[in-house]
Amino acid sequence: MESLIALALERRPSIAQIWSWLKAMPGGGRVFFKLIGQIAPYTGTIDGEVRSLETGRAEVVLFDQRGSRNHLNSLHAIALMNLGEVVTGLTMLYVVDGVGRGIITTLKMDYMKKARGPITATCEANIPTRQGRHDVTLEALLRDESGDVVAKATAIWRVTIGK
Protein backbone atom coordinates (compact mmCIF):
# COMPACT_ATOMS: atom_id res chain seq x y z
CA MET A 1 0.00 0.00 0.00
CA GLU A 2 2.80 2.44 0.89
CA SER A 3 4.37 1.90 -2.53
CA LEU A 4 1.05 2.76 -4.22
CA ILE A 5 0.79 6.00 -2.19
CA ALA A 6 4.41 6.85 -3.03
CA LEU A 7 3.71 6.23 -6.72
CA ALA A 8 0.59 8.42 -6.61
CA LEU A 9 2.52 11.21 -4.88
CA GLU A 10 5.36 10.87 -7.38
CA ARG A 11 2.95 11.20 -10.29
CA ARG A 12 0.78 13.87 -8.71
CA PRO A 13 -0.56 16.11 -11.47
CA SER A 14 0.51 19.73 -11.36
CA ILE A 15 -1.81 22.67 -10.73
CA ALA A 16 -1.50 23.50 -14.45
CA GLN A 17 -2.55 19.99 -15.47
CA ILE A 18 -5.55 19.93 -13.15
CA TRP A 19 -6.64 23.38 -14.35
CA SER A 20 -6.34 22.28 -17.99
CA TRP A 21 -8.70 19.37 -17.26
CA LEU A 22 -11.29 21.43 -15.37
CA LYS A 23 -11.34 24.89 -16.96
CA ALA A 24 -13.63 23.99 -19.87
CA MET A 25 -16.10 22.02 -17.77
CA PRO A 26 -19.28 23.71 -16.52
CA GLY A 27 -18.51 24.72 -12.95
CA GLY A 28 -14.87 23.70 -13.41
CA GLY A 29 -13.56 26.89 -11.79
CA ARG A 30 -15.59 26.24 -8.65
CA VAL A 31 -14.52 22.59 -8.55
CA PHE A 32 -10.90 23.68 -8.95
CA PHE A 33 -11.28 26.15 -6.07
CA LYS A 34 -12.78 23.38 -3.90
CA LEU A 35 -9.80 21.15 -4.73
CA ILE A 36 -7.41 23.91 -3.69
CA GLY A 37 -9.41 24.11 -0.44
CA GLN A 38 -8.77 20.39 0.11
CA ILE A 39 -5.03 20.87 -0.36
CA ALA A 40 -4.94 24.06 1.76
CA PRO A 41 -7.88 23.69 4.18
CA TYR A 42 -7.96 27.31 5.39
CA THR A 43 -8.40 28.46 1.80
CA GLY A 44 -11.57 26.37 1.74
CA THR A 45 -13.14 28.59 4.39
CA ILE A 46 -14.10 31.10 1.70
CA ASP A 47 -16.41 30.47 -1.24
CA GLY A 48 -14.66 31.14 -4.51
CA GLU A 49 -14.08 30.32 -8.14
CA VAL A 50 -10.99 30.39 -10.30
CA ARG A 51 -11.91 32.31 -13.46
CA SER A 52 -8.57 32.16 -15.25
CA LEU A 53 -5.14 30.74 -14.66
CA GLU A 54 -2.18 30.87 -17.00
CA THR A 55 1.53 31.55 -16.93
CA GLY A 56 2.04 34.69 -14.88
CA ARG A 57 -1.64 35.50 -14.33
CA ALA A 58 -4.57 34.38 -12.18
CA GLU A 59 -8.08 35.64 -11.55
CA VAL A 60 -10.14 34.39 -8.63
CA VAL A 61 -13.59 35.48 -7.42
CA LEU A 62 -14.66 35.53 -3.78
CA PHE A 63 -18.41 35.19 -3.37
CA ASP A 64 -20.03 37.27 -0.66
CA GLN A 65 -21.55 34.98 1.95
CA ARG A 66 -22.71 35.56 5.50
CA GLY A 67 -19.87 33.52 7.01
CA SER A 68 -17.29 35.84 5.40
CA ARG A 69 -18.84 39.06 6.70
CA ASN A 70 -17.93 41.29 9.62
CA HIS A 71 -19.99 43.36 12.06
CA LEU A 72 -20.22 46.18 9.44
CA ASN A 73 -22.02 43.86 7.00
CA SER A 74 -19.09 43.88 4.58
CA LEU A 75 -16.56 41.18 3.71
CA HIS A 76 -14.18 40.52 6.57
CA ALA A 77 -10.59 41.75 6.22
CA ILE A 78 -9.22 38.23 6.67
CA ALA A 79 -11.52 36.79 3.98
CA LEU A 80 -10.05 39.38 1.62
CA MET A 81 -6.54 38.51 2.80
CA ASN A 82 -7.29 34.83 2.17
CA LEU A 83 -8.33 35.77 -1.38
CA GLY A 84 -5.09 37.75 -1.83
CA GLU A 85 -3.03 34.77 -0.72
CA VAL A 86 -4.93 32.39 -3.02
CA VAL A 87 -4.59 34.50 -6.16
CA THR A 88 -0.88 35.25 -5.61
CA GLY A 89 -0.23 31.62 -4.70
CA LEU A 90 -1.96 30.28 -7.79
CA THR A 91 -0.06 32.73 -10.00
CA MET A 92 3.19 31.41 -8.54
CA LEU A 93 2.28 27.72 -8.30
CA TYR A 94 0.99 27.52 -11.86
CA VAL A 95 4.57 28.11 -12.99
CA VAL A 96 6.62 26.22 -10.38
CA ASP A 97 4.40 23.29 -9.34
CA GLY A 98 6.12 20.10 -10.42
CA VAL A 99 9.57 21.71 -10.75
CA GLY A 100 9.78 23.57 -7.47
CA ARG A 101 7.83 24.81 -4.52
CA GLY A 102 6.86 28.02 -2.82
CA ILE A 103 5.90 29.25 0.60
CA ILE A 104 4.58 32.64 1.53
CA THR A 105 6.87 34.62 3.84
CA THR A 106 5.10 37.99 3.88
CA LEU A 107 1.50 39.00 3.25
CA LYS A 108 0.39 42.60 3.52
CA MET A 109 -3.01 44.08 2.75
CA ASP A 110 -4.07 47.62 2.06
CA TYR A 111 -7.82 48.17 2.40
CA MET A 112 -9.35 51.02 0.39
CA LYS A 113 -13.10 50.63 0.95
CA LYS A 114 -15.73 48.28 2.32
CA ALA A 115 -16.05 45.17 0.20
CA ARG A 116 -19.50 43.91 -0.66
CA GLY A 117 -20.75 41.53 -3.31
CA PRO A 118 -18.45 39.29 -5.32
CA ILE A 119 -14.83 40.45 -5.25
CA THR A 120 -12.52 39.65 -8.16
CA ALA A 121 -8.81 39.38 -7.46
CA THR A 122 -6.23 39.50 -10.23
CA CYS A 123 -2.50 38.96 -10.08
CA GLU A 124 0.04 39.29 -12.87
CA ALA A 125 3.73 38.58 -12.34
CA ASN A 126 6.89 37.22 -13.86
CA ILE A 127 7.76 34.08 -11.95
CA PRO A 128 11.38 32.88 -12.12
CA THR A 129 11.99 29.47 -13.64
CA ARG A 130 15.78 29.22 -13.20
CA GLN A 131 17.09 26.84 -10.56
CA GLY A 132 17.67 28.22 -7.10
CA ARG A 133 15.88 30.10 -4.35
CA HIS A 134 14.08 33.33 -5.14
CA ASP A 135 12.00 35.77 -3.09
CA VAL A 136 9.24 36.87 -5.45
CA THR A 137 6.98 39.84 -4.72
CA LEU A 138 3.49 39.55 -6.16
CA GLU A 139 0.67 42.10 -6.02
CA ALA A 140 -3.01 41.43 -6.40
CA LEU A 141 -5.80 43.93 -6.89
CA LEU A 142 -9.18 43.05 -5.39
CA ARG A 143 -12.11 44.76 -7.13
CA ASP A 144 -15.85 44.92 -6.49
CA GLU A 145 -18.52 44.57 -9.17
CA SER A 146 -18.24 48.23 -10.16
CA GLY A 147 -14.48 47.79 -10.76
CA ASP A 148 -13.40 49.81 -7.72
CA VAL A 149 -10.29 48.51 -5.97
CA VAL A 150 -11.34 47.52 -2.45
CA ALA A 151 -7.97 46.12 -1.39
CA LYS A 152 -4.45 45.40 -2.58
CA ALA A 153 -2.46 42.36 -1.48
CA THR A 154 1.32 42.32 -1.52
CA ALA A 155 2.82 38.89 -1.00
CA ILE A 156 6.39 37.67 -0.92
CA TRP A 157 6.73 34.04 -1.89
CA ARG A 158 9.96 32.15 -1.34
CA VAL A 159 10.25 30.02 -4.46
CA THR A 160 12.71 27.16 -4.75
CA ILE A 161 13.25 25.63 -8.20
CA GLY A 162 15.05 22.30 -8.42
CA LYS A 163 16.67 20.44 -5.57
At 13, is the pLDDT very low, low, confident or very high (cuts 50, 70, 90)?
Answer: confident
pLDDT, residue 133, reads 95
What pLDDT, in 10s, does the model give residues 57-67? 999 999 999 98
Total domain count for the chain?
A: 1
Residue 85 lies in a domain: yes
Alpha-carbon distance of 44 to 80, in angstroms, equals 13
At 5, is the pLDDT very low, low, confident or very high (cuts 50, 70, 90)?
Answer: very low
Residue 117 lies in a domain: yes
Task: Average the pLDDT over 138-160 and give the result.
Answer: 97
Provide the domain limits for residue 113.
13-161
pLDDT, residue 4, reads 36
Residue 4 lies in a domain: no
Alpha-carbon distance of 116 to 11, in angstroms, equals 41
Residue 7 lies in a domain: no
Residue 102 lies in a domain: yes
Task: Average the pLDDT over 119-145 and give the result.
Answer: 96
For the cut 80, the answer to whether the pLDDT of residue 23 exceeds it is yes
Residue 6 lies in a domain: no
For the cut 60, the answer to whether the pLDDT of residue 27 exceeds it is yes
CATH number, domain containing residue 94: 3.10.129.10
